[in-house]
Structure 1
Amino acid sequence: MVLNGIGGRTIAEAKASLTYNEALSWMAYVEQNGSLNWGLRIERGAALLATILNNVHGGKANFDDFLPKRGEPEEEVGASAQDLFALLQSVKR
């Protein structure tokens, strides 16, 4: 596949032949249009669609609610003795 004259080359060869102006053009394109990674673009599109459908049907979800969490530590919720006792009381027969 030939794409802007770099088709058939290795990544190292393409990087070596990339001019400064071409690099600036690609940086401007990525800044305006987002990542070139197709997987991330598809995930964002699916999240957008899920958000729209959720909101149309009365939901209150945000766009970020439908994106996968990557590298973000999950919050640890600590339970006190009072919380545990209240939970046990709620399931009492």
Structure 2
Amino acid sequence: MNKEYEYNIELENGKYNMVLTNDYKVQYLRGGDIWVEDPPAPKMLISFMDKFEQLENQLIEAKNLLDYAQDVLSNVHMDDSEVYQEISDFLNKGE
């Protein structure tokens, strides 16, 4: 996809996207092509996309803080601690 969107929520490893176009129209894409245009309840969907983006940004920030905490623990030779291992397990989920 080479279009710019206000919001672009990727699902199923890029098979589907829920996007908000620059002219504020909600669309569902499948394989990068428009699948559903102007679905019902667009204001609710826009609110959902905004909330999703907020939560995604908070998760990224939390992961960055945990990554920093892991580095700090390693620098003070606590990389064999239970907390260090729990942070590592969390950061490595999904890989």
- Comparing both structures, which one devotes a greater share of its residues to strand? 2
Q: Please classify the TM superposition score into its range, dividing by the shorter chain length.
A: 0.3 to 0.5
**What TM-score, normalized by structure 1, do the two folds share?**
0.39
- Comparing both structures, which one devotes a greater share of its residues to helix? 1
Greater Rg over alpha carbons, structure: 1
**What TM-score, normalized by structure 2, do the two folds share?**
0.38
